[in-house]
Structure 1
Amino acid sequence: MNQHHIPGQPIFPIESFDPERIENALAVMGPKWTTWTVMTMAQEGRPLRVRDVAARLPFVSEQLVGRRLAAMHADGLVTRADTRRGAPYQLSALGESLTHVHRTLADWSRNYLSSGAIAEAERVEDAVQRLRLRHTTAMVQVLGAGGPMRFVHIAEQAGLDYAFTQHRLLRLQADGLVTRTGPRHGDPYVLTEAGQALGPVYATIEHWSAPLATRRAPAPPTPVATAQRTHSGVPLGADGARTAAALRRSAAVPTSLFSHAPQPQPRVSVSVTAQSAPGRSR
């Protein structure tokens, strides 16, 4: 299958990327509120203490912001001048370079998934959640190279258990990356337009992830049985209600979290609406 291509845009064959490297990078970017934190710190452009970040993300507790920043520090997205309690954080070069990745993910989401008015950070986090699960990249690559395919052939090509492959295909369909060619059991699967357009997204993520190879040992392969226990039965919107409730208590978020405007954004809070607030989370 030929991937979707925009005239004038470089062609990136989906099957040409390292799926483990991409998924390891998505694992660093993927924890909830990471994107919001990175965008907030990029907007400020200076070292911030935990309470400073939390004040700009009023729908997230200060304790959670502290844990997220500690994890981001371990992953190399932020740095600290020293280890004193309360010492400020600032984006590392790796964290700053996420801006281009975020823009690519947001453009892909806006063009192929949803053009609705939602916060830019929410759009990016949603896109990451669609892509980050183990073996998603490998299955997309198999379909990109050889689709349409029945699920048994996808499983064989990707080296996965049949039951796990069926479960992951359900998730890929819910995420808008894969569809079936017909309603009957056994009808082949194909990539959607969004799935076909993932080449530039994978290229951007793989390029960004180069420094991670020196920081993180390759993740051990996830046993299929473990992956089934981990992912099966989990509602796609498990924490959406909690997020929505938190946002109802909020009055403002930084403006740059809503768009990647080329001009410096004023540090003026804007009202969070139901449409533009982070609500679809998985």
Structure 2
Amino acid sequence: MSPTHTEVTHSGADLEPCGQPDHPDCGIRDVLDRVGDKWSVLVIVELAGGPRRFRQLQQAVDGISQRMLTLTVRRLERDGLVLRTVYATVPAQVDYRLTATGASLTHLVKALADWSLENRAAIAGARDTYDQEHPGNDIR
């Protein structure tokens, strides 16, 4: 994982292609890095059901640490996909919901999640077969 992958902010907010002849897809790659991230997909799928508090998200997204969830929702908020609302209560309550842009992504992300569930057994079987045919491989 690169150092910039774990940072919440990035020096350049421009999504235009970088102009380098060998990088014509930099803007596309930047967006796909976010929406294709494992945790982002799972958070978006969960928020498609409506607003959630932080703890509700953490319980729903199996295996995510508090730090990773914090980074994920901040990144999604920065990208305009998630809205974070703080309520003036003691203690403060915070909820997360999809923005209109985030909501427009849900059918694609949900389709990917559904495809993953439908095909996980076949993929696991293919991996087992590959590993048996290629003993000692270190592909994971």
Q: Give the TM-score category using the shorter length.
A: 0.5 to 0.7
Structure 2-normalised TM-score? Answer: 0.54
The answer to whether the 8 Å contact 2:45/2:110 transfers is no
Structure 1-normalised TM-score? Answer: 0.30
Matches within 5 A, 1:1-282: 59-60=21-22, 121-145=25-49, 147-159=50-62, 160-182=64-86, 185-202=92-109, 213=123, 217=127
Highest RCO, 1 vs 2 (Cα 8 Å, sep ≥ 6): 1
Distance in 1, matches of 2:87 and 2:55, equals 17
Amino acid at match of 1:153: Q
Amino acid at match of 2:98: L
Distance in 2, matches of 1:150 and 1:207, equals 24
Larger Rg: 1
Runs of 4+ in 1 over 6 A off after TM superposition: 206-210
Task: Indicate the RMSD between aligned Cα atoms, in angstroms.
Answer: 3.8
| Cα distance change, pair 169–132 in 1 and its aligned pair in 2 (3 A) | same
| Cα distance change, pair 59–204 in 1 and its aligned pair in 2 (3 A) | farther
* CA deviation profile, 1:138-178 (whole Å, cap 9, x unmatched): 11111111x21111111011122223211211111112211
The answer to whether the 8 Å contact 1:178/1:189 transfers is yes
| Cα distance change, pair 175–183 in 1 and its aligned pair in 2 (3 A) | farther
| Cα distance change, pair 183–60 in 1 and its aligned pair in 2 (3 A) | farther
Amino acid at match of 2:22: V
Distance in 2, matches of 1:186 and 1:170, equals 16
Structure 1 vs Structure 2: percent identity of aligned residues?
22
The answer to whether the 8 Å contact 1:149/1:190 transfers is yes
5+ residue gaps, structure 2, are 1-16, 129-140
5+ residue gaps, structure 1, are 1-35, 37-56, 62-118, 219-282
